Amino acid sequence: MRSKITVVGAGFVGSTVVQRLAERDYADVVMFDIIPNMPQGKALDMLQAGPVLGYDSLVVGTNDYADTANSDIVVVTSGLPRKPVMTRDDLVKKNQEIVSQVTEQIVKYSPNSIIIMITNPLDAMAQLAYHISGFPRNRVVGMAGVLDTARFRTFIAQELGASVRDVQAYVLGGHGDTMVPLARMCTVAGVPISHLIPAERIEQIVQRTRDGGAEIVKLLGTGSAYFAPSASVLQMVDSILLDKKMIMPCAVYLQGEYSIHNLFVGVPAKLGAQGVEQIVEIELDEHERALLQKSADAVKELVEVMGI
Ligand code: TXD
């Protein structure tokens, strides 16, 4: 039987994720949104790309959670973007409402699924889905680190005229200003970047990575990034659905790893058929450890705003 994936939220990120998944041709995909008819329209459009691109994935758009039943993976992208009049806490509360409702429906219709959270503020929303679902921690994971790392890798490759494929890197921590790009462990074809790029230039690239989302928001005028975010989701789904056991930075529930307790924070994790199969603890130096702790504190503040 073909696998089934539901994507909740048919906005920019959600619909692009569905398109990428359909093109992989390894699962049927359901796209849910509360806006009447819109997901149905987008799904039909994607279905009709199948004959041209050669995929048989069934793509269904819906406003009814019954259609999402028995999904293996549910990707959650539903949420409001921050409006200029909203404070950060207003946004947390509003998206808390949305993600809580969505999670309840996931539990009802797909009790054995793996949830991949995308909605911002990412780490807090992953924590909320974990809390509401009651799923074990291997079945709730947030996407941010793959994207932040992809941004870092892009900038390093551009700097050196290198192939992005040769650039290995990790960005840890929460998805926000406090993220921790691990420049010390970034290599190009195995060579540490400290041998290739002057320290002050690396620091500029690290800062551009931290501001990576904001740079795109500013250029777009309205909305935020979705091409690289959806590609990042795809890498996570690939590793889970195909049981590839790739290690990539993800927001996972830490219970003492990295000396962080009961909190979602981005760290390297192995993704396979069981979801988060291993949390990989890499040795951090004192400075990196302090930055990760600061990032965890920022996530904790948001979790406290939600009162969970
Ligand atoms: O790295 C990351 N994790 C991120 C996160 C990278 C990029 C975008 N990131 C966040 O994803 C972003 O800050 C938002 O919180 C989400 C979705 O971003 P997108 O750009 O796709 O937003 P849209 O286009 O506004 O889409 C949101 C959709 C829209 O169609 C709404 O109608 C729908 O969500 N929505 C709902 N769907 C289902 N159920 C409910 N309750 C609901 N409320 C709104």
The pLDDT profile of the chain, 308 residues, written as one tens digit per residue, is: 899 999 999 999 999 999 999 999 999 999 999 999 999 999 999 999 999 999 999 999 999 999 999 999 999 999 997 777 778 788 899 999 999 999 999 999 999 999 999 999 999 999 999 999 999 999 999 999 999 999 999 999 999 999 999 999 999 999 888 999 999 999 999 999 999 999 999 999 999 999 999 999 999 999 999 999 999 999 999 999 999 999 999 999 999 999 999 999 999 999 999 999 999 999 999 999 999 999 999 999 999 999 99
The SS3 call for residue 278 is: strand
What would the pLDDT profile of 33-55 be if each residue is shown by its tens digit? 999 999 999 999 999 999 999 99
Task: Indicate whether this model's pTM tops 0.85.
Answer: yes
The SS3 call for residue 181 is: strand
- Which residues are designated catalytic? 175
Residue 250 neighbours by CB under 8 Å, 6+ apart: 141, 142, 143, 144, 145, 146, 236, 266, 267, 268, 269, 271, 276
What would the pLDDT profile of 150-169 be if each residue is shown by its tens digit? 999 999 999 999 999 999 99
The pLDDT of residue 88 is 79
CA distance 251 to 266: 4
Probe residue for ligand 1, chosen from 42, 118, 148, 248 as the CB with the greatest number of ligand atoms within 8 Å? 118
Distance 256 CA to ligand 1 centre (A): 31
Give ligand 1 pocket residues (Cβ under 6 A): 8-14, 32-35, 77-79, 81, 98, 101-102, 118-120, 122, 143-144, 147, 175, 223-226, 229
What would the pLDDT profile of 138-152 be if each residue is shown by its tens digit? 999 999 999 999 999
